Chain A
Amino acid sequence: MSDWVEACDAEDIDEEDVMRFDHEGRTFAIYRSPDDEYFATDGLCTHEKVHLADGLVMDDIIECPKHNGRFNYKTGAARGAPVCVNLRTYPVKLDAGKILIQIG
């Protein structure tokens, strides 16, 4: 599987922030960590299908804007109530200033 998709420019996302990326009917969230690494997960919270990109990034945590469900966006691990289902993550790479994710 080598279905890499270009999502955005690396500079489109601030450090310790998140951006929404929609592709072929699917929605993803792309993160830039405080130490300047990029990550990608499914775009919707596993609790109530809310867009995580409206949420707050703190260190390696994304917090859902609706009910404060938390995930580690690097691993997708759910971090406590009300979320209990992990978030799917996707490989990310940087190529000539562009963010690519492997949506598989």
Chain B
Amino acid sequence: MTNGMVIIGAGECGGRAALALRDLGYDGPVTLVGDEPHLPYERPPLSKEAMASDAPVIKAIASDEILAERSIRHIHSVQAVAIDRAAHLVRLSDGSDLPYDKLLLATGSTPRKLPMPGLGPRCVYLRTFNDALAIRAHLSARNRIAIVGGGFIGLELAAAARRLGAAVTVIEAQPRILMRGVPAEIAKVIHEAHEAEGVKILCGDGIAAIADDGAEVRIALAGGLDIVADLAVIGIGAVPVIGLAAEAGLTIDNGIAVDAGLRTGDPAIFAAGDCCSFPLAVYGGRRVRLEAWRNAQEQGALAARNMLGAGESHAAVPWFWSDQYGLTLQISGLSDEGRSTVRRDLDDGAFILFHLAEDGRLVAASGIGPGNTVARDIRLAEMLIAKRAKPAPEALGSQTVKLKSLLAA
């Protein structure tokens, strides 16, 4: 074992995996390959109000000094183009071959493309820091921004654009924003916050045609409305980056298919983060793929442990957050597992929805409120979900009953 560990993808997941290998005492070669020119960095700020600053900066996961100190070789601006599984080699776009003992695919996801003709230079997607900088250049009081897709990326960006005074229109084909994974009651709070801030939200109307002349974009909606913008940002979801794995013959099932230990069918190859689908133990092994920062972090660390032979299984409860204006939303668990809902009101207009399965088990909790008002209770709910607890609905609904006391029960 002298070829060491190779990680393809230098984002949150890959970066954390590299650091974790060293934290665990691994002293062989660790190589991190990324196709961007930057150090591994955190992506969540790219769509948030941090982008409203005059000169947004990268929030690096590890500095050059830390990478050097921990002997992590970071190869940037290079793509992995093929895996030779028999020879344990990764072929890179610069023509070189990288040998590995264990390989981690942390290739992430990429924005889903709008399958329409007419898109041009004023129609953009957001994934990377460079994408964010290009969008930032158009965010000012002089500009009209159209956002295609009422999901988290689009709505967070809408909030940042409003902060800078841009005129913002959000176009969502579904009957409401945040259809995927967010209860209607909470989506409504976010919808109203955007309208109060002057964002125009158009739901339930599909796009009939797009024309981009390089200076402005004209979006014709099926209902007859025409939206004209200086920039259209398309945020209609993400797809896993699986090309490398598929060509190497690894199983693909809504992402690179891995087991609970993040192993692919090849014992030397692991996959983690946005690019993989895995069985979620807390819901009886339901196969899911998560696009979430904490999942990327946790799976990066778990992959590192298992690359060193730990043999651990993924056991975490999904969790994510979104910031828009002064509001923070946090959801733990997958709310579509629930069959009934109990509401708990907190101070300052904040509230939490607890999602219960048919047998009374708590399966998810969704909260929204100003600042971090829901954070503590969502965290406690996550621990209850992990314990597969069946808390009394009356207790969940009453603000006077501390969730911590339910955990001890």
Is A72 in the interface zone, CB < 8 Å from B?
no
Is B105 in the interface zone, CB < 8 Å from A?
no
Q: By DSSP majority rule, is chain A's interface helix, strand, loop, or mixed?
A: loop
Is B122 in the interface zone, CB < 8 Å from A?
no
**Is A65 a contact of B375 with CB atoms below 8 Å?**
yes
Say which one of A25-33, A35-43, A50-58 lies at the interface with B: A50-58
Binary interface profile of A, 60-100, with partner B (CB < 8 Å = 1, else 0)?
00010111100000000000011000000000000000000
Is B26 in the interface zone, CB < 8 Å from A?
no
Q: Which of B19, B42, B375 is the one whose CB lies under 8 Å from A66? A: B375
Q: Which residues from B are CB-within-8-Å of A66?
A: 321, 328, 372, 375
A-B CB pair tally, cutoff 8 Å: 37
Distance of A16 Cα from B402 Cα, bound (Å)? 13
Distance of A21 Cα from B186 Cα, bound (Å)? 31
B residues 41-100 near A (Cβ < 8 Å) are: 42, 61
**Is A55 a contact of B376 with CB atoms below 8 Å?**
yes
**Is A56 a contact of B297 with CB atoms below 8 Å?**
no
Q: Which residues from B are CB-within-8-Å of A65?
A: 372, 375-376, 379
Distance of A92 Cα from B233 Cα, bound (Å)? 52
- Smallest beta-carbon distance A19→chain B, Å: 13
**Is B301 a contact of A54 with CB atoms below 8 Å?**
no
Instruction: Evaluate whether A51 and B372 lie within 8 angstroms (CB atoms) in the complex, with A63-B379, A66-B321, A81-B16 already known.
Output: yes
Distance of A81 Cα from B66 Cα, bound (Å)? 14
Q: Which residues from A are CB-within-8-Å of B380?
A: 56
**Is B16 a contact of A54 with CB atoms below 8 Å?**
no
Instruction: Evaluate whether A54 and B371 lie within 8 angstroms (CB atoms) in the complex, with A63-B379, A66-B321 already known.
Output: yes
**Is B376 a contact of A81 with CB atoms below 8 Å?**
no
B residues 346-372 near A (Cβ < 8 Å) are: 371-372
Distance of A16 Cα from B373 Cα, bound (Å)? 18
Q: Which of A55, A68, A81 is the one whose CB lies under 8 Å from B19? A: A81
Q: Which residues from A are CB-within-8-Å of B379?
A: 55-56, 63, 65, 68
Q: Which residues from B are CB-within-8-Å of A16?
A: 404
A-B contact pairs, 25 of them (CB 8 A): A50-B372, A51-B372, A54-B371, A54-B375, A55-B372, A55-B375, A55-B379, A56-B375, A56-B376, A56-B379, A56-B380, A63-B379, A65-B372, A65-B375, A66-B328, A66-B372, A66-B375, A67-B293, A67-B294, A68-B294, A68-B379, A81-B297, A82-B42, A82-B61, A82-B297
Q: Which residues from B are CB-within-8-Å of A51?
A: 372
Q: By DSSP majority rule, is chain B's interface helix, strand, loop, or mixed?
A: helix
Distance of A65 Cα from B293 Cα, bound (Å)? 15
- Smallest beta-carbon distance B16→chain A, Å: 6
A: interface residue count bin: 10 to 19
**Is A81 a contact of B301 with CB atoms below 8 Å?**
yes
Instruction: Evaluate whether A54 and B373 lie within 8 angstroms (CB atoms) in the complex, with A68-B294, A81-B301 already known.
Output: yes
- Considering the complex, give the chain A residue whose CB is closest to the CB of B371: A54
- Considering the complex, give the chain B residue whose CB is closest to the CB of A53: B372
Q: Which residues from B are CB-within-8-Å of A56?
A: 375-376, 379-380
5 A-B pairs besides A56-B379, A56-B380, A66-B372 with CB distance below 8 A are A16-B404, A54-B375, A55-B379, A66-B375, A68-B294
Binary interface profile of B, 271-300, with partner A (CB < 8 Å = 1, else 0)?
000000000000000000000011001000
Distance of A53 Cα from B297 Cα, bound (Å)? 24
Q: Which residues from A are CB-within-8-Å of B372?
A: 50-51, 54-55, 65-66
B residues 198-234 near A (Cβ < 8 Å) are: none
